[in-house]
Amino acid sequence: MLFTADHDEPRRILQKFIAAEINPFVDEWEKNDIFPAHELFKKLGDLGFLGLNKPVEFGGQGLDYSYALMMAEELGAIKCGGVPMAIGVQTDMATPALARFGSDEVRHEFLAPAIAGDAVACVGVSEPGAGSDVASIKTSARSDGDDYVINGGKMWITNGVQADWICLLANTSDDQVHRNKSLICVPMKARGVQVARKLDKLGMRSSDTAQIFFDNVRVPKRNRIGEEGKGFTYQMIQFQEERLWGAAACLKAHEYIIAETIEYTRNRKAFGGSILDNQTVHFKLAEMQTEVELLRSLIYRAGEALVAGEDVTRLATMAKLKAGRLGRELTDACLQYWGGMGFMNETPVSRAYRDSRLTSIGGGADEVMLMVLCKMMGTLPGVKQK
For range 295-311, the mean pLDDT:
97
d(CA 36, CA 207): 10
Do 189 and 297 sit in the same domain of this protein?
A: no
Distance (Å, whole) CA 307 – CA 292: 22
Q: Categorize the per-residue pLDDT at 131 as very low, low, confident or very high, splitting at 50, 70 and 90.
A: confident
Q: Do 80 and 139 lie in a common domain? A: no
Instruction: Name the active-site residue from 242, 255, 263, 304.
Output: 242
> What band does 385 get if pLDDT is binned at 50, 70 and 90?
low
309 has a pLDDT exceeding 70? yes
Instruction: Check pLDDT > 60 for residue 95.
Output: yes
State whether 248 and 353 are in the same domain. yes
**In the prediction, which pLDDT does 238 show?**
87
Domain presence at residue 383: no
| Cβ contact 189:115 at 8 Å | no
pLDDT band at 260 (very low <50, low <70, confident <90, very high): very high
Q: pLDDT grade, residue 42 (50/70/90)? A: very high
Name, in order, each residue with C-beta under 8 angstroms of 6's C-beta and a sequence gap of 6 or more. Answer: none
Q: What is the mean pLDDT of residues 176-190?
A: 97
Q: What is the pLDDT of residue 187?
A: 98
Asked if residue 202 is part of any domain, the answer here is yes
pLDDT of residue 20: 98
pLDDT over threshold 90, residue 384: no
Instruction: Place 383 in a pLDDT band, splitting at 50, 70 and 90.
Output: confident
Measure Cα distances from 236 to 49, 57, 118, 240 in Å. Answer: 24, 25, 27, 7
Q: Are residues 312 and 291 in the same domain?
A: yes
pLDDT at residue 386 greater than cutoff 80:
no
237 and 107 within one domain = no
| Number of domains into which the chain is organized | 3
Domain containing residue 116: CATH number: 1.10.540.10
Residue 359 and residue 279 share a domain: yes
Q: What is the residue-averaged pLDDT of the chain?
A: 97
Query: Whole-angstrom Cα distance, residue 286 to residue 312?
Result: 29
Average pLDDT over every residue of 112-137:
95
> Is 163 inside any structural domain?
yes
Could you tell me if residue 384 is inside a domain? no
Residue from 6, 10, 9, 98 nearest 55 by CA: 98
Residues 116, 27, single domain; the answer is: yes
Question: Based on the domain organization, do 248 and 268 belong to the same domain?
Answer: yes
- Asked if 33 and 162 sit in the same domain, the reply is no
Residue 282 lies in a domain: yes
CB 70 within 8 A of CB 231: no
Is there a single domain that holds both residue 32 and residue 162? no
Mean pLDDT on 221-236: 97
Domain boundary among 120, 145, 174: 120
**CATH number, residue 305:** 1.20.140.10
Alpha helices, DSSP H, located in the chain: 8-17, 26-32, 37-46, 65-75, 82-92, 96-101, 104-106, 112-116, 231-248, 251-267, 279-307, 313-338, 348-356, 366-377
Check whether residue 250 and residue 210 sit in a common domain.
no
CATH number, domain with residue 224: 2.40.110.10
Confidence (pLDDT) at 66: 97
Which pLDDT value is given to residue 382? 84
Q: What's the predicted TM-score (pTM) here? A: 0.96
Respond yes or no: is residue 242 known to be catalytic.
yes
**Domain-embedded: residue 385:** no
Q: Is residue 341 part of a domain?
A: yes
- Final residue in a domain of this structure, among 194, 213, 228: 228
Task: Assign 362 to helix, strand or coil.
Answer: coil
- Domain termination site, one of 228, 253, 271: 228
The whole-number average pLDDT for the span 4-29 is 98
Q: How confident is the model at residue 132 (pLDDT cuts 50, 70, 90)?
A: confident
**Structural domain harbouring 340:** 233-377
Indicate if 263 and 219 belong to the same structural domain. Answer: no
Q: Is the Cβ–Cβ distance between 349 and 331 less than 8 Å?
A: yes
Q: Is residue 241 part of a domain?
A: yes
- Residues 5-23, mean pLDDT to the nearest whole number: 98
Are 378 and 326 contacting, i.e. CB atoms less than 8 angstroms apart? no
The pLDDT score that the predictor gives to residue 180 is 96
Which whole number is the average pLDDT over 97-120? 98
- Sign for the pseudo-dihedral over CA of 134, 104, 114, 120: negative
